[in-house]
Structure 1
Amino acid sequence: MRASLLQVAVNEGESVDSRRRRVAAMVRDQAAADLVVLPELWTTGAFAYDAFDSEAEPVEGPTFEAMAKAASDAGVWLHAGSIPERAPDGTLYNTSLVFSPSGEPAASYRKIHRFGFDQGEAVLMGAGDALVTVRLPETVLGVATCYDLRFPELFRGLVDRGAETLVVAAGWPERRRAHWTLLARARAVENQAFVLACATAGTHASVPQAGHSLVVDPWGEVLAEAGPDEEVLTVDFDPATVAGTRERFPALKDRVLGLDRPRR
């Protein structure tokens, strides 16, 4: 299976419409891939809090339309990163979109863990409440977004729902890049799954982005890693490795469930 991670540069000075057209063209260029992955909030920038409200769009808005057509034109599965979604009741969400090779919507995921503590995304956006997996012909994707990466229980929940390849769209800051790599490898090892972690490049809202998107195998080995700038990271991997790893080293079978429940 071939995956292409599009490490999009989100810089001030480029309009959302212009970036949307540019990214759609990048997706169309990946017709040789099976799966294309975009980063988190690439239309606005994950730290551009002031733009969330003005640039928010319904799920089936202009980004949905552009990405659906790009996926269809390229004939690829497309994890189109995330957008600032405005729900019918006015609530904003950080929502990821997934499309089939025919351009049909395959899934959407509202980010569960919002970053910012008492500011930014944490107060401007609502929290999702549902785990999302997507079945591809070759593998089952588990969908997560940026700050979710710090919460291993979310990924274990995705594995319990059949996930073999964990896709993380992110706008991760450069100052915590060491955590980005460490956590992506940890999620791969503990879940014996591939991790496709796609981040933004550039600087938006005065926050330099980490870049360094990476693909990690079920043993925690980094198969490919991007640099700091805009880049297309393409890697071939064998999803069957997941089943083989879990069979040869069956650590998941030794899980002890219910440890978080009170004892009587």
Structure 2
Amino acid sequence: MRASLIQFEVRPDDPVAARRERAAELVRRQRGSDLVVLPELWPVGAFAYESFAAEAESLDGPTAAAMAAAARDAGVWLHAGSVVERAADGTLYNTSLVFSPSGELAAAYRKIHRFGFDKGEAVLMGAGAEPVTVRLPDTTLGLATCYDLRFPELFRALVDAGAQVFVVPAGWPERRRDHWTLLARARAVENQAYVLACGTAGTHAGVGQAGHSVVVDPWGEVVAQAGAGEEVLVADLDPARVGKVREDFPALKDRVLR
């Protein structure tokens, strides 16, 4: 199973429409991959709080339409990162979208843990309520977003729902980059699952981004890692390895607290 993580640079001077067009083209170039991943809030920038309301859209809005078409054209499963979703009642959510190779919306996940400590995303957006998994032909994805990575109980719930591969789009700050890799590896080790952690490059609203997207295997080994700039990180996954690691070292069977 080939995964392509697009470490997209949110260029401050690009209008949102231009970002959509560029992201769609990058997705189309990944034909031959099975799964393509974009980062968190790439249409607007994870720290561009003042733009959230103006750029919010529905789940059938312009970003979803562009990503559905790109997934269909490339013939890939596409985790299209996340968008600022405006729900029917006006509430904003940080919502991840997953499209099938036919361009159908297969899943939407509203970020549960909002970042900001009583400001920014934490006050501007509603919180999701439910873990979300997506069944692919060869594996099951568990969805999480950025700050969620710090909350292991979410990943346990995803494992209980059948997840074997965690997909974590993010807009992770450069100043906490060491935590990014550390936590990605921790979630892989403790859950004996692959982690595909896809971040952004560049700067969002003055906040430098960590980049360094990473693919971690179920034993906690780094399979591939990007640098700081925009790039596409490609890694081959073996879905059978998850079951093999869990069978050879059956730590999950010894769980007591649920």
TM-score (norm 2): 0.99
Q: Name 1:40's counterpart in structure 2.
A: 40
2:169 partner SS: strand
Q: Name 1:84's counterpart in structure 2.
A: 84
Q: Which runs of 5+ in 1 are unaligned?
A: 259-264
Q: CA deviation at 1:183?
A: 0.1
Q: Name 1:18's counterpart in structure 2.
A: 18
CA distance, structure 1, for counterparts of residue 215 and residue 203 of structure 2: 23
2:144 partner SS: strand
1:205 aligns to 2:211 (yes or no): no
CA distance, structure 2, for counterparts of residue 52 and residue 80 of structure 1: 18
Q: Name 2:75's counterpart in structure 1.
A: 75
Deviations 1:1-33 (A, max 9, x none): 000000000121011000100000000000010
Q: Name 2:144's counterpart in structure 1.
A: 144
CA distance, structure 2, for counterparts of residue 196 and residue 139 of structure 1: 13
1:252 aligns to 2:252 (yes or no): yes
Q: CA deviation at 1:257?
A: 2.2
- Partner AA of 1:249 in structure 2: F
1:163 aligns to 2:153 (yes or no): no
CA distance, structure 1, for counterparts of residue 53 and residue 113 of structure 2: 19
Q: Name 1:102's counterpart in structure 2.
A: 102
Q: Name 1:215's counterpart in structure 2.
A: 215
CA distance, structure 1, for counterparts of residue 73 and residue 11 of structure 2: 27
Deviations 1:62-94 (A, max 9, x none): 000000000000000000000000001100000
CA distance, structure 1, for counterparts of residue 257 and residue 209 of structure 2: 38
Deviations 1:208-245 (A, max 9, x none): 00000000001110000000000000011101000000
Q: Name 2:6's counterpart in structure 1.
A: 6
Deviations 1:112-167 (A, max 9, x none): 00000110000000000011000001110000000000000000000000000000
Aligned Cα root-mean-square deviation (Å): 0.5
Q: Name 2:194's counterpart in structure 1.
A: 194
2:10 partner SS: coil
CA distance, structure 2, for counterparts of residue 254 and residue 118 of structure 1: 37
CA distance, structure 2, for counterparts of residue 127 and residue 252 of structure 1: 28
CA distance, structure 2, for counterparts of residue 57 and residue 28 of structure 1: 23
Deviations 1:43-66 (A, max 9, x none): 000000001000000111000000
CA distance, structure 2, for counterparts of residue 14 and residue 225 of structure 1: 26
- Partner AA of 1:176 in structure 2: R
2:9 partner SS: coil
Poorly superposed stretches of 4+, deviation over 3 Å: none
2:246 partner SS: helix
Q: Name 2:238's counterpart in structure 1.
A: 238
- Partner AA of 1:112 in structure 2: I
- Partner AA of 2:61 in structure 1: G
1:127 aligns to 2:134 (yes or no): no
Residues 50-65 of structure 1 correspond to what in structure 2 (within 5 A)?
50-65=50-65
CA distance, structure 1, for counterparts of residue 191 and residue 250 of structure 2: 11
Task: Please identify, of 143-152 and 249-258, the stretch whose mean Cα deviation from structure 2 is larger.
Answer: 249-258
CA distance, structure 1, for counterparts of residue 84 and residue 251 of structure 2: 38
1:163 partner SS: coil
TM-score (norm 1): 0.97
Aligned residues: 258
1:202 partner SS: strand
Q: Name 2:173's counterpart in structure 1.
A: 173
Q: Name 1:261's counterpart in structure 2.
A: none
Percent of pairs with identical residues: 74
